[in-house]
Amino acid sequence: MPELPEVETIVADLRPHLAGRTIVRCELMFPSIVRHPEPELFIDSVAGMRIAALRRRGKYILIDLENDLVLVVHLGMTGHLRLVDADAPIEKHTHAIFILDDGRHLRYHDPRRFGRLLLGTETLLRAAKKMPVLGPEPIDVEFAAEELYQRLHKRRTALKAVLLDQAAIAGVGNIYADESLHRAKLRPDRLARTLSRKSVQRLHESLRESLLVAIANRGSSVDTYRDAWGDMGGQQEKLMVYGRAGEPCFTCGRPLALIRIAGRSTVFCRRCQR
């Protein structure tokens, strides 16, 4: 699933091309990809709407429209949002096309259909439980190590499970949880509430560094992720532990271990992450 760096890359790519454009109309090939409101109302409501801005919240792409409406795109596991010329061939599994006033198409493509489109005010979407309450942004300069400590200190669960909890911290998934914990030299199965402030400070720094480096490298194309132009990211070439179970640790040479935490495969070094 695309995580914070991948979604941030897509938003940064699309922002200068979409801000100020108008959605002339929307075509839905797979209406049930729209989770709110009803597909017919969704189509009618976005037609003629001007795009004011693009932003990211956690793993969500937020396209701000007029009248406080927000077009929300969640990419799920295999979703792609691409800006193409109108004459570009329509790929299989293209479920929504937004025709813009400059003639180009913004297309949503999702082979496994785990993604979703939403439309409404943010307040309405949260009240309708279509969007979850999200925790703080880990790359926000206002997100301090002390706040991370307070959030971890309340949890009697594995450290990695807390990092994956979007209500605790927004945008972190399996890739960058593993990478951040390795950088911080912390075991993923350690109880979150047992960390000292010094250890949390180290995790806070490693989490921020892992995410910012991945953004600079345009995300990790470890599976199906591609940017807004269909190109691969570059961070997958620099991952230290994710997807490398059984391979030597780059630091100590010991084979990396594989366990499951919160239902997710988790890779770490038993020597470096004590």
Which residues belong to the active site?
Answer: 2-3, 59, 264
CB atoms within 10 A of CB 133: 9
Tell me phi and psi for residue 87, to 5 degrees: -90, 5
Q: Which residues pair with 118 in a beta bridge?
A: 36, 72
Q: What is the bridge-based pairing of β-strands 80-84 and 70-74? A: unpaired
CB-CB contact of 33 with 2 (8 Å): no
Query: Residue 150: CB partners within 8 Å, gap ≥ 6?
Result: none
Cα torsion angle, 184, 266, 232, 59, sign: negative
CB atoms within 10 A of CB 269: 24
CB-CB contact of 72 with 62 (8 Å): yes
Query: Residue 177: CB partners within 8 Å, gap ≥ 6?
Result: 160, 163, 164, 188, 266
